[in-house]
Amino acid sequence: MPDKLNILVWNEGVHEARNEPETMAEMYPSGIHGAIAEGLKGFYPDSSITTATLADPEHGLSEETLAATDVLLWWGHVAHAEVSDEVVERVQRHVLGGMGLIVLHSGHFARIFTKLLGTTCSLKWRNDGERELVWTVKPSHPIAAGVESPIVIPKQEMYGELFDIPEPDDLIFISSFEGGEVFRSGVTFSRGKGRIFYFSPGDQEYPVYHQPQIQQVIANGVGWVAQPAQFREAPGVGNARRDWYL
């Protein structure tokens, strides 16, 4: 993995502000974004790991910030509609230009995700605190490196097929739930010069982001979606309308 990355963990931050559910403050005292950032520190000790939320000016996603970001992680749930058109388009442009993007859990309905994929990204769900098993199906992929198969998550919200996404470039993980549902829980996409990793485990009601194996997958994902700066500037790759990107 690259030594020094600029990693930005974005969270709408609404569950934290409302303390919903009531366990939120205790489970994630520094917010879901704080926990994710904390989990990454052990893997990227020399990298810059910062956070931003919806309430920040420009949602903390200014042109300047994105231009300096190698990997953006996205967590959202109840406030997708409040992310401005301008910011969604700006993030899309940076992803197409080479910035890595990791979308987590309920971020499947984030406007940036549906905009990049072109489908509804809808799915089945049921929140009964079921056991989730995350099975590796592409062991040759770096995102699966060092990951147990299955990862056992004691309690999780069920996400089930049909997951309305385009055919992913890589299908790395498939989950099952106690009710018998299955879900393509770890998938990658390439869009323009950028890489996207979607990983479904993680919810505001369960302490999933504290599990070491989940942290391992997210750290692997960061390494995989990251594109060293010089890569974005390869001579001659690009097209007649280079400025459409960055």
Note the residues at the interface with a copy of itself (CB under 8 A): 92, 96, 98, 115-120, 122-125, 131, 133, 135-142, 144-150, 160-164, 166-167, 169-171, 174-176, 178, 180-182, 184, 189-195, 227-228, 230-231, 234-241, 244-245
DSSP state, residue 4:
-
Grouping H, G, I as helix, E, B as strand and the rest as coil, residue 183 is strand
Nearest distance from residue 237's CB to a copy of itself, in Å? 5
Nearest distance from residue 189's CB to a copy of itself, in Å? 7
In the bound state with a copy of itself, the residue whose beta carbon lies nearer, of 16 and 170, is 170
Grouping H, G, I as helix, E, B as strand and the rest as coil, residue 212 is helix
In the bound state with a copy of itself, the residue whose beta carbon lies nearer, of 21 and 142, is 142
Nearest distance from residue 45's CB to a copy of itself, in Å? 17
In the bound state with a copy of itself, the residue whose beta carbon lies nearer, of 38 and 130, is 130
In the bound state with a copy of itself, the residue whose beta carbon lies nearer, of 84 and 244, is 244
In the bound state with a copy of itself, the residue whose beta carbon lies nearer, of 34 and 223, is 223
CA distances from 148 to 86, 94, 158, 214, 243 (A): 40, 33, 20, 10, 43
Angle between helical axes of 31-41 and 212-225 (0-180°, round to 10): 80
Nearest distance from residue 106's CB to a copy of itself, in Å? 14
Nearest distance from residue 80's CB to a copy of itself, in Å? 14
In the bound state with a copy of itself, the residue whose beta carbon lies nearer, of 29 and 154, is 154
DSSP state, residue 227:
-
Helix-then-strand count for the chain, H and E: 8, 9
Nearest distance from residue 239's CB to a copy of itself, in Å? 5
DSSP per-residue letters across 23-81: THHHH-TTHHHHHHHHHHHTT-TTSEEEEEETTSGGGG--HHHHHT-SEEEEE-SS-GG
CA distances from 88 to 12, 53, 83, 194 (A): 13, 14, 7, 15
Nearest distance from residue 238's CB to a copy of itself, in Å? 6
In the bound state with a copy of itself, the residue whose beta carbon lies nearer, of 41 and 131, is 131
Cis peptide before 21 (omega within 30 of 0): yes
- Regarding beta strands 71-75 and 6-11, do their DSSP bridges make them parallel or antiparallel, or are they unpaired? parallel
